Amino acid sequence: MKTVCRFFSLLIAACILASCGYHNPNVYNGPHKVIYITEWKNRTSQLGLDSKIYRTLTRWFQNSRSISTVREKAGADLILAGEIISLELPSLAYGANNVTAEVKVRLRVRYVLKDIASNKILMEVPDELWIEDYLISTNSSTNIDNEKRALDTIIDDLSQRIYQRTVSRLPTL
| 109-112: long-range pairs with CB below 8 Å, 24+ | 109/40, 109/82, 109/83, 109/84, 109/85, 109/158, 110/82, 110/83, 110/85, 111/40, 111/80, 111/81, 111/82, 111/83, 111/162, 112/80, 112/81, 112/82
Global pTM reads: 0.78
Interval 14-40 mean pLDDT? 73
Task: State the pLDDT confidence band at 146, using cuts at 50, 70 and 90.
Answer: confident
> What pLDDT is attached to residue 173?
46
Mean of the per-residue pLDDT values for the chain?
A: 83
Q: What CATH number matches the domain at 2-169, 3.30.160.150, 3.40.50.620, 3.90.800.10, 2.30.30.30?
A: 3.30.160.150
